[in-house]
Amino acid sequence: MLQNIYIRLSLFYLLSVGFIALNLWFVVQKDMMVLNALPVLLAILLVAIYSFDKIIYLVAFFAPLSIQLHEVLPGLGFDMYLPTEPLLFGVLILFILKVIHERRFDKKILLHPVSIAIYINLFWLLITSFTSSMPLVSFKFVVARIWFVVALYFLTAKLFSEGKNMEKYVWLYVAAFMIVVFYATFRHLGYGLWDKQAAHFVVSPFYTDHTSYGAASALFLPFMVVFMFHPNFSKRFKIISAFGFSIVLLGFILSYSRAAWLSIVVTLVVWVILLLKIRFKPLFITFLALLALFFTFQTQIFMKLENNSKQSSANMMTHISSMSNITTDASNLERINRWSCAIRMFADKPVFGYGPGTYMFQYAPYQLTKDRTIISTNAGDGGNAHSEYLGPLSESGVLGLLTFLLIITVVIYTGVNAYTRIRDQRLKQLVLAALLGLITYYIHGFLNNFLDTDKLSVPFWGFTAMIVAIDIISKNQDKKEDLLPE
C-alpha cells in the first residue's frame, strides 16, 4: 500500500517537472505560451465530463469577456469566440454522446412547443444549407447555431427545471459585463464621456461595436429592476442589485445605441400592457388601426422624415431624434442600403435564399449606386444585414423568416401564459424579466443582428430556456392542484 503511494507521488512529480521543463523550452526557444493553457483545458474537460452545469456557468461568465480568434491569431481563414465557442462545441459533442449512452433527456423540454418551433427552424436552415450558394459557410453557420441551442437552451432549461439557478445564470453574465463596462468607461473617459464616436471602439475587443454592447445591456436591465424591488429578495441582495443596475445602466447610456434605447421604450409599453392586463383583441384592433393610418398617410410621413436632417450626436435628444433621419444620417442610410439588398436577394431566391450565413458574402452586387453611403463596403466587414428578420429572409427564403418568427411568437405566448399562471411570486417576476429582456432584443432585431455571436446568444437562448422551464413548472403546479381533493 505504502509502495503504491510512493509510485503515484513519483509519477506525479515526474509529470509535473516534465511539463514545466517542456513549457519552459517552448517559452524560451519558440517564444510560445501555448502549453500554459493545457492545465486549464484539462480542468475544463474534466468539469465538462462530470458536470455540464459548470460549463454552462463558465460560458455565461466568459461571454461578455470573450474575444475573437483573429485578435489573437490574425490572418486565419476562420474565426470564433474564445473561450466560449470551443466550450460550446465540446458541450455539443459530450451531450450527443451522453444522450446516445443514456438514451434519455427531459421529454417535457424536448417536446415543448418552443422546442418544436426551434426544431422546425433548424430543419429549414439545414435544408437551405444543402441548396446554399456557399455550402461550407452555411453548414458552419448551422453547426454554430446548434451548439448555441444545445448548451444555452436545452441544457440550460434542464438546469432551470426545478426553478433554481436562474439568478446565478443572470449574475454570472452581469458580473462579467460590469467588468466590460468599467473597461469601456475608463477608455471613454480619455475621449470625454460625451464623445459619441468613441463609443464605437472603446468596447473593443470584447464587443465588436457599440450596438451589440447596447443590446446586451438592454437585455439585462429588466432583471436588475426585478432584483432591486421584488420583496422575495433580501436587503443585501437588493443593494447589490442596485449597484449592478447602475453599472449596466451606465453601459446602456454610454453605448449610444439608438436601437437599444428604442427597444427599452417599446418594452416599457409592453410592461404597462402586462401590468394593466389589457386583452389581445383591443391591442390587435389598435395595431390594425395604426397600420391603416400609416398606409393612408405614408406620403406625408416620408416627407416629414426626409425633412429631418439631424445627425447622430453626443447630445442625447439630438441623437434620439436622428433615428428618423433617412436623408443625411450615414448610419440610417447604410441600414436602408443593407435592407434593400436583403429584399432584392429575397426577390431573386424567394424559396431557399442564398444559404444561412452567406449574406455578407453575397450582398455586394445588390447595392445600387444611389443607395451607397460613405460607409458602404463590398467586403461585408461593416456588419451583416442589420436585421434579424431580413437576414433570414435573404439567406433562407420566406420559410427562413417565418420559422424564426414562429419561435418568437411561441416564446411570447408561452411567457405571457406562464406569467399569468404561475403562483410562485419569485418565478413570476423572473419570467416577466426574461420576457421583457427578450422583447428588447426582438425590437432591436429590426435594426441589428447578433445571434451569430456568443454575446447575445447567451441571454437570448438562456432567457428562452428560463421561460420554458417556468412554463413547465406552472403546468406541473396546475396538475398538482387538480389532484388535490375538493
The DSSP code sequence of 124-162 is HHHHHHHT-SSHHHHHHHHHHHHHHHIIIIIIHHHHTTT
pLDDT at 383: 65
- Which residue in the block uniquely carries the three cell numbers 436622428? 322
Query: CA–CA separation, 146 vs 457, rounded Å?
Result: 11
- C-alpha separations of 388 from 112, 131, 281, 395 in Å: 24, 21, 27, 11
CA dihedral (224, 229, 232, 235) positive or negative = positive
Cα angle, residue 124 at apex, residues 435 and 347 outer, rounded to 5°: 100
pLDDT at 223: 97
pLDDT at 325: 47
Give pLDDT tens digits for 152-162. Answer: 999 999 999 99
Query: CA–CA separation, 238 vs 250, rounded Å?
Result: 18
Residue of 353, 47, 319 lying closest to 196 (CA atoms)? 319
By the 8 A CB rule, do 194 and 202 touch? no
- C-alpha separations of 389 from 121, 290, 458 in Å: 13, 21, 19
pLDDT in tens, the chain (486 residues): 555 565 555 554 554 555 556 555 555 555 555 545 555 555 555 555 566 778 899 899 999 999 988 777 776 666 788 888 888 888 888 888 777 877 788 899 999 999 999 999 999 999 999 999 999 999 999 999 999 999 999 999 999 999 999 999 999 999 999 999 999 999 999 888 777 788 888 999 999 888 999 999 999 999 999 999 888 788 899 999 999 999 999 999 999 888 899 999 999 998 988 888 777 677 667 767 766 765 565 555 445 544 555 555 455 455 455 454 445 566 778 888 889 999 999 999 999 999 999 999 999 889 888 878 877 777 666 668 889 999 999 999 999 999 999 999 999 999 999 999 998 999 999 999 999 999 999 999 998 899 999 999 999 999 999 999 999 999 887 665 554 455
Query: CA–CA separation, 454 vs 63, rounded Å?
Result: 6
DSSP code for 112: S
Q: Report if pTM > 0.75.
A: yes
pLDDT at 121: 98
